């Protein structure tokens, strides 16, 4: 179940992005729709579900815990029907739960499984097995959960069932939507009130969706951008309908690509505009990008809009640290924008990037340097001086966002760019190559996927 390193992208230099396109459904919301739909009472209908490996692994895990889930194949593209079993209706799986490359799945499901009366093991691929999990196992232990980890607090995780959880007030040492969500989901099973204080805003899809399923969630604003989210255990989730918007993290590659390529004029449709996710737009605009927000509306409690982006002359900036948690998954693409900008771009406060699917600071810096860009990694960010991007070979280290970011760099390159180990692009963006080619990127894949 590991990735094949044989699939490569080859991008020819030049071009521009034009037309209209819609990227796949939001991965964060797709994960949560399966989880909460499974724990709800009644039948939840989902449209726009992301059929990428990460969210499909979440779906398969809940099937193995006794939840009947129809689709997506049998119902048509992006449609899923979840027959919820209620908060206490999950059954013990017949073996370890495979989560592939998905840290989101493992961290959020840790909170859910901690409240069950059965044991379960969660494991993943080589990349996931290197990612830190103490950030969720420690607060869960404070609630009374018993979880065994591998050396260094890494996967696989063995969650021991039958623990009586108690509500806590957890103050997160660093802003993380996954940690917040894990603790809140465990709080559904806890006695009393569970509260999480975050030092800076993070994505709030879990809170929004819990409310959509009829569960009361309270938020209190604090000082300096902090806030506290609370819920009380012992309630119930009621099935609902979910329309998953397009993933702004996937749209980000096209926002950057169109911004750096002269003559581009591209509309990305039905993009989720959750205010805890729009940091990529704010940062690009600070750099001088021409991004127009059109046709704003609300779909299923989530703001949605169409984004028109045209080629622009970008300038280097010092990225405000307040925007870092709101764009944490988009920095690989933003590093490409910085490489094409005039002047110096400085990122600080983003040490979280070192423990993503890869060390995104080091891997992006290595790739940029290989293409002739002046990029210097720092412990918590990077300093990039914009200039010419040459052709060359870069290695994505199996990280889907690294691969797609360097693909967009081809729009400004002076020679062909070869990107190695691209199979994991399918974890978040099935059909990326075809969609990018249709918009004007000269991209082909070579080699074989496993």
Helix (H) or strand (E) holding 53: helix 53-64
CA atoms within 13 Å, Cβ hemisphere of 390:
9
The answer to whether 380 is a known catalytic residue is: no
Closest CA to 256 of 383, 127, 123, 404: 404
CA atoms within 13 Å, Cβ hemisphere of 112:
31
Q: What's the rounded Cα separation, in Å, for the pair 207 and 219?
A: 9
Catalytic one among 26, 243, 329, 399? 329
DSSP-derived secondary structure for 295-336:
EEEEETTEEEEEEEEE----B--B--GGGGGGSTTTHHHHHH
Closest CA to 312 of 267, 260, 266: 260
Cβ 187 vs Cβ 229: under 8 Å: no
Cβ 100 vs Cβ 128: under 8 Å: yes
Q: What's the rounded Cα separation, in Å, for the pair 343 and 286?
A: 13
Q: Give me the numbers of helices (H) and strands (E) for the chain, helices first please.
A: 12, 23
Active site residues: 329
């Amino acid at each position: 179940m590991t990735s094949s390193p044989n699939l490569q992208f080859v991008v020819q230099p030049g071009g521009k992005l034009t037309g209209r396109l819609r990227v796949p459904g939001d991965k964060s919301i797709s994960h949560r729709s399966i989880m909460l739909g499974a724990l709800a009472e009644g039948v939840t209908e989902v449209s726009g579900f992301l059929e990428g490996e990460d969210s499909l692994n979440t779906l398969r895990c809940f099937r193995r815990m006794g939840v009947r889930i129809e689709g997506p194949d049998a119902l048509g593209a992006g449609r899923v029907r979840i027959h919820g079993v209620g908060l206490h209706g999950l059954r013990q799986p017949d073996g370890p739960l495979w989560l592939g490359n998905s840290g989101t799945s493992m961290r959020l499901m840790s909170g859910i499984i901690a409240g069950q009366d059965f044991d379960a093991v969660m494991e993943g691929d080589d990349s996931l097995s290197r990612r830190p999990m103490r950030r969720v196992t420690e607060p869960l232990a404070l609630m009374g959960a018993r979880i065994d980890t591998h050396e260094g607090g890494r996967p696989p995780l063995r969650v021991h069932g039958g623990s009586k959880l108690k509500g806590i007030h957890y103050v997160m040492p660093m802003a993380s939507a996954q940690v917040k969500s894990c603790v809140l989901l465990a709080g559904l099973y806890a006695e009393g009130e569970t509260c999480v204080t975050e030092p800076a805003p993070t994505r709030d899809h879990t809170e929004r969706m819990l409310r959509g399923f009829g569960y009361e969630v309270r938020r209190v604003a604090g000082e300096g951008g902090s806030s506290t989210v609370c819920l009380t255990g012992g309630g119930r989730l009621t099935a609902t309908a979910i329309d998953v918007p397009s993933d702004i993290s996937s749209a980000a590659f096209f926002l950057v690509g169109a911004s750096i390529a002269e003559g581009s004029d591209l509309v990305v449709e039905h993009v989720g505009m959750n205010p805890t996710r729009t940091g990529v737009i704010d940062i690009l605009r600070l750099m001088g990008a021409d991004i127009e927000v059109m046709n704003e509306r609300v779909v299923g409690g989530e703001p949605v809009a169409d984004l028109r982006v045209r080629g622009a002359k970008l300038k280097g900036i010092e990225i405000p640290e307040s925007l870092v948690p709101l764009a944490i998954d988009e920095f690989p693409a933003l590093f490409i924008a910085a490489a094409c900008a005039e002047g110096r771009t400085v990122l600080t406060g983003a040490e979280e990037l070192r423990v993503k699917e890869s060390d995104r600071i080091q891997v992006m810096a290595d790739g940029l340097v290989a293409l002739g860009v002046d990029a210097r990694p720092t412990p918590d960010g990077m300093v990039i001086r914009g200039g010419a991007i040459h052709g060359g070979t870069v290695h994505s280290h199996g990280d889907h966002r690294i691969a797609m970011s360097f693909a967009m760099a081809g729009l400004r390159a002076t020679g062909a760019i070869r990107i190695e180990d691209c199979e994991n692009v399918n974890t978040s963006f099935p059909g990326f190559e075809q969609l990018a080619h249709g918009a004007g990127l000269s991209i082909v894949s070579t080699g074989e996927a496993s």
